Every structure is written in C-alpha cells, then in structure tokens.
Structure 1
Amino acid sequence: MNLNPDAFIQVMPYLAQGLWYTVIITFVGVAIGCIIGSMFGLMSIARFKVVRWMAITYIELIRGTPILAQILFVHFGIPALFNYNFDPLFTGVAVIAINSGAYIAEIVRGGVQSIDKGQMEAGRSLGLNGRQTMRYIIWPQAVRVMIPPFGNQFVISLKDTSLLSTIAVAELMYQGRQFASISFNMFETYFMVCIFYLMITIPASILLRYTERRLDKS
C-alpha cells in the first residue's frame, strides 16, 4: 500500500472550508427544524382532528422517505415543475430543516405526553388557562425530557449533510471528493474526512452525555 503523508496535510484546507459549510447548514437547518418540529409536535396532540392529521401527514411523509430522495426532490423535482432553480445551499438548509423538523416533532410530542396529566389540572387549579399551563408548567418539564433525543437528532442531521454532496453543496464530503478526484489520494482523503466529522460528533456526544447526567441529578 502506497501512502502519501503530504496528502493528509494538503487536504486540510479543502476540508476546513467544507467543515464551515457543514456546521452552518446543520445549525441553521436544525434551528429552523426546532421551530417546525415544535409547531407540528404540538399540532399532533391538538384537540382538532384536522390539525392533528395535518401534523401526522407531514411527520409520516418525511419520516417515511429517505433524506436523499428529499434532497433530489427539492433540488430537481420542484424546480422542474415551476421552472425555477434553487441555490444548492438553500436546498441544503431547507431539507435539513424539513427533515429534522419531522423527527423533532415526534420528540416534542413524546416529551409533552410524558408529563403527567395531573400537571394540567394543577395549572387550572392555579387559575391558568390551557396556553399558560402549557407555557409555564408543562413545557419546562417536557424540555428536560426532550434534550437527550434532541442532541441525538442534531448529530444525525450533521451526518446527513454529507448527502448534500450529491447536489454540489460545498460541505465536508463534497470538498473531500473534490480533492480526491484531483489528487487520487483516496485513502488519505477519506480518512481525514472521517476525522473531521469525528471532530464535531465526539464533542457533541460528550456534551450530550454530560447534559443527561446533569438532568438525572437535578
């Protein structure tokens, strides 16, 4: 096996640029996904059937299709219908937001439903209406339950950004592929790609475990 030690260093500027895009897409996409997920998660447990079914339809459609299919549909399918091209970066953020939103919606639903129903009655006995009870009593308790699975979803969404290389988003995997295609140093390149992903996922996992331990003690 022939290794090129210099390639481990030469690929780093490419990957550093790609890492920046990966982090930005993940943070912005998941942040928007939190808004979408919170809304649809609460809709999925609403009293009105129409609202519930709207949320369930969205959640099942997204969870039931591969994210790669969603990327290709948003970037190529929708523009073909409306004769309009999306910027790849926009597609990346949009798909990560929509995809993570469906999973976060289930996290929100599970978190809220895990709180004892007596908490709602307790809020009413204090003179709070349904919205106030949700905001001041149910939601703060539910957030504690939701933090660990949310952390897992963040890591999953971060790794899912690698599929955006199929539409030429200049994220980590795409930059690695670009360098590999011009240098032919396949082992060195993809080894460093894995290292760069681990540079994000390992600290995120450590922070997640630390947060879980703190929540268990409190």
Structure 2
Amino acid sequence: MQGMIDVFNQLKPSIPYILNGVWVTLQIAFFSALFGFILGIILAIFKISKLKALSLFARFYTSIFRGTPLIMQLSLVYLALPQLFHFDIEPLTAAIITFSLNSAAYMSEIIRSGLNAVDKGQYEAGKALGVPYGKLMLDIILPQAIKNILPALMNEFITLTKESAIVSTIAVTDLMRRAEIVSANMYMYFPPMIVAFIVYYCLTMILTFIGSLIERRLGRSD
C-alpha cells in the first residue's frame, strides 16, 4: 500500500502535463463535430435528393466510412496519402480531417432521419408559397429537424471525445498520448493510465449531463 502511495506521489508533478491533454482532446472533438456536422447536412440533403447521382454518392460515402476501421482511415490520411501525393501534414490536422470525414458519415444518417421526421406538409406548404428549395431547407425544414435530433448529435460528440484517444497512435499529444509518455518515463503504466481513465470518465459524464439538460430543455419547449 505504501509503495502505491509513493508511486502516486512520484506521479504528482506529471499530472498537470497529463491534464493539459484534455484541451487537445476537446479541440479534436469540437472541430471534428463542427466540420462533420456541416458535411453531414450536405450528405443528408443529398440522400433525400431526387437526383439519383447525389443520393448514390452520399450513400457510397457513408458506406465507406462506416464500413472501415477508424484507425485505418487515420493511417491513410496521415501516412498513406502524404506518401502517395508527396505532401506533409501535421498529426493534429490529420486527426481533425479524419474524424470530421468519419463523423460526417454518422451525422448524415442522424440528420437524414431528422429531415424525414419533419411533417411532409411543411414541404408542401413551402412549395405552395413559392419558397425556393434551398431557402425552404435552411429556414424551415432543417431547424425543425435539428431540434429533434439534437440529443443524438450530442451523443455523437461524446463518442468523438472518447474515440479521439486513437490519435495517440500518430503522436498527437492528447490526453491518452500524454499518459503514455508519462508511463514510459516512469516505467509504470497503472498510475498515469488510471489518471487518464478517470479524466475521460469525468469528461463523458459532464458531456452526458449537458446533453440531458439540453434534451429536457427541448422537451419543455415542445
């Protein structure tokens, strides 16, 4: 017992270094969710489009990113494509691009279901009033859909926060990577990893609580 206490005392100076990785983790999750959301809207509109080519493209895109491992996608963006096309890319940039593209596939399905859930009368009323399709979608249909699917979008953000740990494989100094560095320096994995484990859990619980608040708020506003 005393030995374990001594180990954690030895870890104390490194805890701020590990905790600073939270901001990198949240940065990846935030920007990936933002860009994934924007691309997801475009893909969702393509999926419900009457133009067969757009619908097929969006569904093929989704099948690619949902049907392959995320870590493989990350390796392609960070290692394979730069080697093939002779360009350099920062690990953090590669992580955000990969997670954005991956998240867009999942968000497009969430948004598509939200768009399909909007009363068809809204579409017909907009067309009867001569509202252009783009304006109809952006000003009338999409806001209603987003309100209905906001809890699901929040869950996607929580998932991104947890899955971002794999960016440690390409040397992004996020929470997980910093815990690994401290573990290697200490020649002991349990103390740094349990700190990272607790921080990830706390982050998830906080985001889940925020998501619950949003869901209750939306429920009261109906």
Indicate whether the TM-score tops 0.5.
Answer: yes
Structure 1 SS opposite 2:20: helix
- 1:33/1:101 contact within 8 Å kept: yes
Structure 2 SS opposite 1:11: helix
What's the CA shift for 1:155?
0.7
Q: Which amino acid letter does the alignment assign opposite residue 174 of structure 2?
A: E
Matching residue of 2:19: 16
1:77 maps onto 2:80 in alignment: yes
Q: Which amino acid letter does the alignment assign opposite residue 32 of structure 2?
A: G
1:105 maps onto 2:108 in alignment: yes
Counterpart CA distance in 2 for 1:139 and 1:202 is 29
Counterpart CA distance in 2 for 1:84 and 1:111 is 39
In structure 1, the gaps of 5 or more residues are none
Matching residue of 1:137: 140
Structure 2 SS opposite 1:185: coil
1:169 maps onto 2:172 in alignment: yes
What's the CA shift for 1:55?
0.8
What's the CA shift for 1:217?
2.0
What's the CA shift for 1:180?
0.2
Structure 2 SS opposite 1:170: coil
1:199 maps onto 2:222 in alignment: no
Matching residue of 2:151: 148
For residues 188-218 of structure 1, give each alpha carbon's deviation from its aligned partner in whole angstroms, at most 9, with x where no partner exists: 1111001221232111100101111121222
Matching residue of 1:54: 57
Query: 1:185 pairs with 184, 188, 205, which one?
Result: 188
Superposition map of 1:17-36 within 5 A: 17-36=20-39
What's the CA shift for 1:85?
2.9
Matching residue of 2:94: 91
Q: TM-score under structure 1 normalisation?
A: 0.94
Structure 2 SS opposite 1:86: coil
- 1:11/1:176 contact within 8 Å kept: no
Counterpart CA distance in 1 for 2:179 and 2:128 is 59
User: Which is worse superposed, 168-177 or 182-191?
Assistant: 182-191
Runs of 4+ in 1 over 4 A off after TM superposition: none
Counterpart CA distance in 2 for 1:180 and 1:13 is 14
Q: Which amino acid letter does the alignment assign opposite residue 47 of structure 1?
A: K
Counterpart CA distance in 1 for 2:109 and 2:153 is 10
- 1:8/1:192 contact within 8 Å kept: no
Matching residue of 1:118: 121
- 1:44/1:51 contact within 8 Å kept: yes
Counterpart CA distance in 2 for 1:7 and 1:187 is 13
Question: Alpha carbon RMSD of aligned pairs, Å?
Answer: 1.5
Q: TM-score under structure 2 normalisation?
A: 0.92
What's the CA shift for 1:131?
2.5
What's the CA shift for 1:8?
4.6
